[in-house]
Chains A and B, each alone.
Chain A
Amino acid sequence: MNHFLTIEGLPADDLNGLLDDADEFVEVLHRPIPKVPALRGKTVATMFFEPSTRTKMSFEKAAKALSADTMSFSPGTSSLSKGESLKDTVLTIKAMGTDAMVVRHKATGAPWRIAEWIEQPVLNAGDGAHQHPTQALLDSLTIRQHFGTLEGLKIGIIGDIRHSRVARSDIQAFSTLGAEVTMVAPRTLLPVDAAVFDATASEDLDEVLEDFDVVYVLRVQAERGGASVFPSLSEYTDRYGITKERFARLKPEAVVLHPGPMNRGVEIEGAVADDPRALILDQVFNGVAVRMAVLFRLLGGESNE
């Protein structure tokens, strides 16, 4: 593995291998001194061309827990605003000396372009509505921790799948790991060609809700201009929100996940988010562990020399 760009095409063995490593990093993170020297002397650059405080912090925490140094790039204060091209920015940061680049970009495929320009490993921290592979790992890890396996689980992904990189990566990871995935959304928020995913599609949440072992609630991206894809937030909540009433109808052992940040009262009711069966903070914690696993996989070992 030279880069970590996508879940697409990763076999179950590879996914499970990364999750196994992540389990060990969960143990590390529970130690009194949650830090190991594995990547001492390495430098990880976090380059978030699209702002995301939490994912960036999670990657930085992961790098630091492996004793790597971090440098970070944020477009707001950078030469990008002076018109520097992405390629020049990347080559400039490479010249400073970095062993890996963690890239978040709102343009699809940006991490792939960067991987063409530099020889160091590139980690995709989210590109467009395309892929967010470490999110899929942390979600898979959270579900695996809870149920022991994803094999045979019924997972409903609810919300704006069309514009969600989380959904794309999750659907691919969950189905590869043996889960049965259902996409639930109004037609305007489902992929135009839903058949490209190993998942079924439904527009009626109430019809399929009670089948699910895992309810994965996507964030309503109001910044996408909700008005053109559904009539109003309240109508969305009526049809697709995980309310207390819908939560009560779930199987008693079913759990709820959300990638954050949540719109309480829109896609998820506050009381559901705070229920012990909502694993949202576990997801956040596991995010650090899976990112350690990926960084260690890319940087810990001779093949990167």
Chain B
Amino acid sequence: MSDLILAGGTVLTPKGLEETDVRIRDGLIAEIGPGLEGDETIDCGGAWVGPGLVDLHVHFREPGQEWKEDIESGSRTAAVGGFTAVFAMPNTDPATDSGHVARYVSARGTEVGLVEVLPVGAITRGRAGKELAHLDELWAAGVRVFSDDGDVVADAGLLRQAMDYLAARGGVISQHAVDVGLSSGGYMHEGSVSSLLGMSGIASAADDVILARDIRLVEMTGARYHVQHLSTATGVDLIAGAKAKGLPVTAEVTPHHLAFDHTAAQTTDPAYKMMPPLRSEDDRAALRYGLEIGTIDIVGTDHAPHAAHEKEVPWEHAPNGVLGLEWAAAVVNTFTDLDQSAFYDRLSVAPARIGQLDGQGMLLAEGGRANLTVFDPSIEWTPSTTVSKSQNSPYFGLPLQGKVVATIYQGTVTARDGIAVS
């Protein structure tokens, strides 16, 4: 029987942080304690050892757009980034609006075996915003998070129906909160940079008005509500207010909204184009602070691959979205002051809890499932490549602090030092 030892790291356990060793056997955490020996040892000296990272927001493009990414390449990218579970958004072709597409996505994830792939179900049929998707069928296929991501559920009446339908079971509505009227025709944050460039902007209010509306619907329906990729300071305040009222509301921020503000868009390089757009320096500061104090619950990458030829176009013609999985952990460590516990909370424990995912996001204890990520916060590096099928990274050339050293999924090493193990 093969034993894997994680030696000498700072281990995040229910009792707190311990500098110790971890024995992994049969997909489980077999033993935690000093001086362990086994068949294979990973030196974790100086590194953090915690639960495998969980991403509540990725786009793996399969089925339908496999030239950008597929479940295999996406899984590989996730493993390199330290993730052991990802929630794949339903804006595929066909959309994940029925049980069979959902079952396909999770089965394909299991087949690849590098990371647990959880399908997010569409709220509306074909994500068209007109009528409810097959919510029961999706639920039966294991879907717990529902979203029309890529598009907002604009019709408040329809959203209310979905909330009412899912509230009792505890399904999560994950909203891409952008008002259509305020954002249509806009290509970047409305502010000084858009004014200088003469580009039509998307006011921060485009996000805020939907969030405020939805919070009111949560108050009415009691449904669990998660707001994706929060990008505005006002949004952080709205979430804080909703939480103060005790509403079942959670929030997410992307790595790129922590790393950049709209001045990065001034080059009109489509590597910085996404929805919601990079916003002002004040927004960015509020997002960082919100994540640090826990108003924002999680980091979700919104990993959105697009082929090179799709991004090698002028800004307005480029699709929205950037890669994120490989650098999320390092970006969070570089641009926020999260300590080890908070780091794993925002990147693993909280997203697993919101996604109602068993066996992931658990503090390390003997007998627990061996989904682990080793992160060394002291490594300084500058990304220049990716294992994704696509190349649309805004982080190439950006110095980062901290790196995923090893990813262990179901007791097996899936990535070491930036290289996926197949």
Chain A residues with CB under 8 Å of chain B are 8, 85-87, 105, 107-110, 112-113, 117, 127-131, 162-165, 168, 191-197
Interface residues of B in 195-212 (CB under 8 A from A): 195-199, 201
Q: Across the interface, which residues of A come within 8 angstroms of B199, CB to CB?
A: 108, 128-130
Q: Are B191 and A192 in contact (CB under 8 A)?
A: yes
What would be 10 A-B contacts, judged by CB atoms less than 8 Å apart?
Answer: A86-B313, A107-B314, A108-B268, A113-B313, A129-B197, A130-B199, A162-B198, A165-B198, A196-B192, A196-B196
Q: Does B317 contact A (CB under 8 A)?
A: yes
Q: How far is the CB of B321 from chain A (nearest CB, A)?
A: 18
Q: Are A130 and B197 in contact (CB under 8 A)?
A: yes
Q: Across the interface, which residues of B come within 8 angstroms of A168, CB to CB?
A: 196, 198
Q: How far is the CB of B153 from chain A (nearest CB, A)?
A: 25
Q: Are B313 and A129 in contact (CB under 8 A)?
A: no
Q: Does B19 contact A (CB under 8 A)?
A: no
Q: Are B268 and A87 in contact (CB under 8 A)?
A: no
Q: Across the interface, which residues of A come within 8 angstroms of B201, CB to CB?
A: 192
Q: Across the interface, which residues of A come within 8 angstroms of B195, CB to CB?
A: 191-194, 196-197
Q: How far is the CA of A197 from the CA of B192 in the complex (A)?
A: 9
Count residues on chain B whose CB falls below 8 Å from chain A CBs.
Answer: 21
The residue in B198, B268, B315, B316 that gathers the most chain A C-beta atoms within 10 A of its C-beta is B198
Q: Across the interface, which residues of B come within 8 angstroms of A108, CB to CB?
A: 187, 197-199, 268, 314-316
Q: How far is the CA of A163 from the CA of B195 in the complex (A)?
A: 9
10 closest Cβ contacts across the A-B interface? A109-B268, A129-B198, A107-B314, A191-B195, A193-B195, A110-B314, A130-B198, A107-B316, A193-B192, A196-B192
Q: Are A192 and B309 in contact (CB under 8 A)?
A: no
Q: How far is the CB of B316 from chain A (nearest CB, A)?
A: 4
Q: Are B314 and A193 in contact (CB under 8 A)?
A: no
Q: How far is the CA of A192 from the CA of B267 in the complex (A)?
A: 19
Q: Are B191 and A164 in contact (CB under 8 A)?
A: no
Specify the chain A residue showing the minimal Cβ separation from B201.
A192
Q: Are A112 and B267 in contact (CB under 8 A)?
A: yes
Specify the chain A residue showing the minimal Cβ separation from B198.
A129
Q: Does B312 contact A (CB under 8 A)?
A: yes
Q: Does B190 contact A (CB under 8 A)?
A: yes
Q: Interface digits, B28-55 against A, CB 8 Å rule (1 contact, 0 not)? A: 0000000000000000000000000000
Q: Does B386 contact A (CB under 8 A)?
A: no
Specify the chain B residue showing the minimal Cβ separation from A86.
B313
Q: Are A87 and B313 in contact (CB under 8 A)?
A: yes
Q: How far is the CA of A112 from the CA of B191 in the complex (A)?
A: 21
Specify the chain B residue showing the minimal Cβ separation from A107.
B314
Q: Across the interface, which residues of B come within 8 angstroms of A130, CB to CB?
A: 197-199
Specify the chain A residue showing the minimal Cβ separation from B268.
A109
Q: Across the interface, which residues of B come within 8 angstroms of A87, CB to CB?
A: 309, 312-313
Given A112-B267, A128-B197, A129-B198, do A195 and B192 touch, yes or no (CB 8 Å)? yes
Q: How far is the CA of A293 from the CA of B269 in the complex (A)?
A: 29
Q: How far is the CA of A193 from the CA of B195 in the complex (A)?
A: 6
Specify the chain B residue showing the minimal Cβ separation from A131.
B198
Q: Across the interface, which residues of A come within 8 angstroms of B194, CB to CB?
A: 192-193
Q: How far is the CB of B309 from chain A (nearest CB, A)?
A: 6
Specify the chain A residue showing the minimal Cβ separation from B196.
A196
Q: Are B197 and A192 in contact (CB under 8 A)?
A: no
Q: How far is the CB of A129 from chain B (nearest CB, A)?
A: 3
The residue in A86, A113, A165 that gathers the most chain B C-beta atoms within 10 A of its C-beta is A113
Q: Across the interface, which residues of A come within 8 angstroms of B312, CB to CB?
A: 85, 87, 113, 117
Q: How far is the CA of A162 from the CA of B196 in the complex (A)?
A: 9
Q: How far is the CB of A163 from chain B (nearest CB, A)?
A: 7
Specify the chain B residue showing the minimal Cβ separation from A163.
B198
Q: How far is the CB of B402 from chain A (nearest CB, A)?
A: 31
Given A128-B198, A129-B198, A194-B195, do A112 and B268 touch, yes or no (CB 8 Å)? yes
Q: How far is the CA of A193 from the CA of B187 in the complex (A)?
A: 16
Q: Are B316 and A128 in contact (CB under 8 A)?
A: yes
